[in-house]
C-alpha cells in the first residue's frame, strides 16, 4: 500500500509549485497509472514520494515513511531514469553490485535476467545495449530485492508495442502477487489499457481518480478505425453524408490509407462505403485520444484504514491541515548492506584495475631502465622507478588513480539506484573502499618492484643491483607511500565528488604540501628525539620484544620524512573534511 498525502513541491520564483497538494494511493494487487501531460509534475511527484525533492507532504509505504524503513531497497523498487551504471560494466556485474547494495544473494542477478528475458546479454556492456534492453536491465534492477512497491517513471516510453505489452504484463504479474505498482505515463490509451486505476493530474494538482473502465468511458473518445486504399474518397463520402444528416462527425486522415472517424459507428461507416462502392480493408471500433481535461479541483482526502504497526498520529495531522504537513528534505540513500562485496564488484566490474596495472608495470620498467642507463640513482629509487623530476612514481600514481575512482566513478555513474541523491557516507562503505584500495596499492607496488628488478636483471644482468643492507625501512616507506596515495584519492574524491579532484589532491601532496613541510622541518632542533622507541615500549600495556624496536623506528623514520609527514597531514585534513561534509549531509530540515 502506497499512500501519498498532500505532496507539495518547493515553490518556484514567480511560478506555482510543480506539485500542489497532491493526494493519491496505490493499493496492493493493483496497477495504478499516474496520467498527465509532459510538465504536469509526474516525475516530481515520484521524487517527492521517495524524499528526493524538498517539499511538503508525506508518503507511507505500508504505513511507514521511507526514512523509517530499515532497508528501503527491499520495500520500494524504483525506475526513474536509464541504467545508472558505468557503460563499460557488464550487465551481470552491474546487477551483482546492486545485489550487494541491497543485501540479497548474488544469484538473484541471474534470476532476474531470466525473468526480464535478457539472460543471453549478461556479458554485454551497458553502453552497447539498445534502448529496449536498457529498460529491461533497469526493470531487473528495480526488482532485484523483490520489493513490495514499484515506482516507475514512464517505463514504456520509447518502446515498441510488443515490448510495451511485455513490460505491462510483467507489472501485472507483480501486482497479482500482492504488490503495488505505480507508473507514470502521458498516453491516455496506455493508462486505460494497462492499469486498474488511473489518477489524472494537471498542473501538479489532482484532476480525477478513477477505475480504468470508468476512465475509458468518461475521458476517452470512441472512434472507428478504417483502412482503405481509397481513404480520401471515403472521407469525402462520410463528410457529405454527415452534413446532409446534420450530425457531428470528425474525420482524421492519419496516413495515406487510414482514417479515424469520431462520432460514428462501424455500421454507419460500413453502410456508407457499401452504398458508394468504396473498398474497405479494415473496420473496427477503437478507443481514441483523451478528451479535454477537466479543470483541476482540490483533492478530497479519503478515509483510510491504518495498517498494522502504523503510527496514526502524524498521518492524521498531515491529512487534516495543510499548514501542519511535515516538510521533507532531500534524503541520502543508505549505503550498501554488504559494503566489502559491493566494493569488490564495483572495482572488478570493469577492466580499469587490470589496464592500470599493465600501464603502471610497463611505465615503471621503462623508467627504471632509463634511470639505470643514466646512472647516479640510488637503488631504492631505481627499484621504485622514481626519478627526481617526477612528483610520484608510476605505482603511486596508479594507486592514487584507483583511489580517486572509488568515489568519483559513483558520482558520475550512480550505482545504488537511479537518482537517489549523492553517494552515501557510511563508515562501512568508507572502510571497504579504503581496504580494497590499500590492497590494490600494495599489489601495484609489488608488481612494479618485481617488474623493475626483472627488467634490470634481464638488460644489465646484476650491474645496477646489489644486496640491500637494510630492507625493512625502505619497504615500509614504499608501502606507506602507496597506501597513503590511494587513501588520499579515496577521501578527496569523496569530499570533492570528482575523480579528477581526487587525483589532483594526490598530486598536490608532493608538489605543494611536501615543500611546505620540508621548509617547516629545516633548521636545528632544540631537543633530540633519540630513545623514543624504548620509551614507547615502556608505556605499552604489553611488553613487545626488543626486535620490534626496528619496526617502530622504521615507521617513525618514514613519518619523519617530508613525504611521509605531508601524506599524514593531508590524510588527516581530508578525513576531517570527509567527516564534516558527511555530518552536514545528515542534517534534516
The distance of Cα 466 from the centroid of its chain, to the nearest Å, equals: 52
Give the model's pLDDT for residue 33.
96
For residue 154, give the 3-state DSSP assignment.
coil
Cell 481509397 locates to 230
Give the model's pLDDT for residue 565.
74
The mean predicted confidence, pLDDT, of the chain is: 82
Cell (9 digits) for 234: 471515403
Q: Which is nearest to 440 in space by CA: 477, 400, 497, 408?
A: 400
Q: Give 8-77 as a DSSP string.
A: EEPPBTTB--SS-SEEEEE-TT-EEEEE--TTSSHHHHHHHHTT-S-EEEEEEETTB-GGG-S-HHHHEE
Taking the C-alpha atoms of residue 434 and residue 416, their distance in angstroms, rounded to an integer, is: 19
Give the model's pLDDT for residue 423.
62
**Residue 206, strand partner residues:** 201
Give the model's pLDDT for residue 359.
96
Q: Which domains does the chain have, with CATH numbers?
A: 2-217+294-328 (3.40.50.300), 229-280 (no CATH), 339-585 (no CATH)
CB-CB neighbours of 113 under 10 Å: 20
Give the model's pLDDT for residue 379.
85
Give the model's pLDDT for residue 520.
67
Contact at 8 Å (CB) between 450 and 361? Answer: no
Q: What is the DSSP letter of 469?
A: S
Task: Enter the pTM of the model.
Answer: 0.77
Give the model's pLDDT for residue 391.
86
Cell (9 digits) for 542: 604489553
Give the model's pLDDT for residue 559.
52
Taking the C-alpha atoms of residue 515 and residue 517, their distance in angstroms, rounded to an integer, is: 5
Give the model's pLDDT for residue 189.
87
Cell (9 digits) for 260: 479515424
Mark the ranges of the chain whose per-residue pLDDT is less than 50. 292-323, 419, 526-529, 587-589
Distances (CA, A) of 451 to 121, 166, 193, 398, 511: 37, 54, 65, 15, 27
Give the model's pLDDT for residue 303.
36
Give the model's pLDDT for residue 358.
96
For residue 134, give the 3-state DSSP assignment.
helix
Give the model's pLDDT for residue 71.
85
Give the model's pLDDT for residue 309.
40
For residue 201, give the 3-state DSSP assignment.
strand
Give the strand pairing for 205-211 and 76-79.
Answer: unpaired
Rounded to 5°, angle at Cα 230 from 227 and 236:
100
Give the model's pLDDT for residue 461.
77
Give the model's pLDDT for residue 295.
41
> Over the Cα atoms of the chain, what is R_g?
33
For residue 24, report the phi and psi dihedrals to the nearest 5 degrees: -160, 170
Q: Which is nearest to 586 in space by CA: 410, 335, 325?
A: 335
Give the model's pLDDT for residue 319.
38
Amino acid at each position: 500500500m502506497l499512500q501519498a498525502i498532500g505532496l507539495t513541491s518547493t515553490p518556484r520564483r514567480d511560478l506555482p509549485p510543480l506539485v500542489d497538494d497532491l493526494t493519491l494511493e496505490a493499493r496492493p494487487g493493483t496497477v495504478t497509472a499516474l496520467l498527465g501531460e509532459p510538465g504536469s509534475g509526474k516525475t516530481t511527484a515520484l521524487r517527492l514520494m521517495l524524499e528526493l525533492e524538498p517539499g511538503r507532504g508525506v508518503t507511507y509505504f505500508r504505513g511507514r515513511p521511507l526514512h523509517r524503513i530499515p532497508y528501503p531497497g527491499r520495500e520500494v523498487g524504483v525506475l526513474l531514469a536509464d541504467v545508472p551504471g558505468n557503460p563499460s560494466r557488464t550487465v551481470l556485474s552491474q546487477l551483482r553490485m546492486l545485489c550487494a547494495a541491497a543485501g540479497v544473494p548474488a544469484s538473484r542477478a541471474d534470476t532476474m535476467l531470466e525473468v526480464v528475458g535478457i539472460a543471453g546479454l549478461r556479458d554485454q556492456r551497458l553502453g552497447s545495449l539498445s534502448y529496449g534492453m536498457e529498460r529491461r536491465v533497469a526493470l531487473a534492477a528495480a526488482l532485484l530485492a523483490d520489493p513490495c512497491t514499484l515506482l516507475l517513471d514512464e517505463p514504456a516510453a520509447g518502446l515498441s508495442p510488443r515490448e510495451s505489452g511485455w513490460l505491462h504484463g510483467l507489472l501485472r504479474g507483480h501486482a497479482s502477487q500482492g504488490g503495488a505498482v505505480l507508473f507514470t505515463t502521458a498516453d491516455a490509451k496506455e493508462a486505460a489499457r494497462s492499469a486498474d486505476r488511473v489518477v489524472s493530474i494537471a498542473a501538479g494538482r489532482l484532476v480525477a481518480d478513477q477505475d480504468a473502465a470508468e476512465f475509458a468511458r468518461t475521458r476517452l473518445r470512441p472512434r472507428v478505425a478504417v483502412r482503405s486504399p481509397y481513404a480520401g474518397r471515403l472521407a469525402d463520402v462520410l463528410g457529405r453524408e454527415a452534413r446532409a444528416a446534420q450530425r457531428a462527425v470528425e474525420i482524421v486522415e492519419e496516413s495515406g490509407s487510414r482514417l479515424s472517424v469520431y462520432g460514428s459507428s462501424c455500421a454507419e461507416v460500413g453502410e456508407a462505403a457499401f452504398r458508394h462502392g468504396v473498398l474497405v480493408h479494415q473496420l473496427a471500433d477503437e478507443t481514441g485520444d483523451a478528451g479535454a481535461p477537466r479543470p483541476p479541483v482540490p483533492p478530497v482526502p479519503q478515509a483510510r484504514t491504518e495498517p498494522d504497526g502504523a503510527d496514526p498520529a502524524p498521518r492524521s495531522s498531515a491529512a487534516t491541515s495543510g499548514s501542519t504537513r511535515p516538510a521533507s528534505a532531500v534524503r541520502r540513500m543508505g549505503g550498501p548492506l554488504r559494503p566489502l562485496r559491493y566494493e569488490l564488484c564495483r572495482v572488478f566490474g570493469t577492466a580499469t584495475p587490470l589496464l592500470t596495472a599493465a600501464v603502471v608495470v610497463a611505465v615503471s620498467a621503462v623508467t627504471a631502465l632509463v634511470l639505470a642507463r643514466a646512472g647516479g640513482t640510488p637503488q631504492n629509487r631505481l627499484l621504485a622507478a622514481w626519478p627526481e623530476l617526477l612528483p610520484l612514481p608510476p605505482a603511486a600514481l596508479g594507486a592514487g588513480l584507483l583511489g580517486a575512482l572509488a568515489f568519483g566513478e559513483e558520482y558520475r555513474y550512480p550505482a545504488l539506484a537511479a537518482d537517489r541523491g549523492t553517494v552515501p557516507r557510511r563508515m562501512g562503505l568508507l572502510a571497504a573502499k579504503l581496504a580494497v584500495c590499500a590492497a590494490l596499492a600494495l599489489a601495484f607496488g609489488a608488481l612494479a618492484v618485481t617488474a623493475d628488478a626483472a627488467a634490470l636483471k634481464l638488460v644489465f644482468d646484476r650491474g645496477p643491483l646489489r644486496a640491500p643492507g637494510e630492507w625493512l625501512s625502505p619497504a615500509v616507506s614504499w608501502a606507506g607511500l602507496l597506501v597513503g596515495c590511494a587513501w588520499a584519492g579515496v577521501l578527496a574524491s569523496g569530499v570533492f565528488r570528482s575523480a579528477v579532484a581526487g587525483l589532483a589532491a594526490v598530486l598536490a601532496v608532493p608538489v605543494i604540501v611536501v615543500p611546505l613541510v620540508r621548509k617547516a622541518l629545516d633548521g636545528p632542533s632544540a631537543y633530540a628525539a633519540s630513545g623514543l622507541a624504548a620509551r614507547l615500549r615502556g608505556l605499552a600495556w604489553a611488553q613487545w620484544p626488543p626486535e620490534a624496536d626496528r619496526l617502530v623506528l622504521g615507521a617513525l623514520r618514514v613519518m619523519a620524512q617530508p613525504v611521509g609527514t605531508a601524506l599524514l597531514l593531508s590524510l588527516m585534513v581530508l578525513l576531517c573534511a570527509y567527516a564534516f561534509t558527511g555530518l552536514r549531509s545528515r542534517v534534516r530540515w
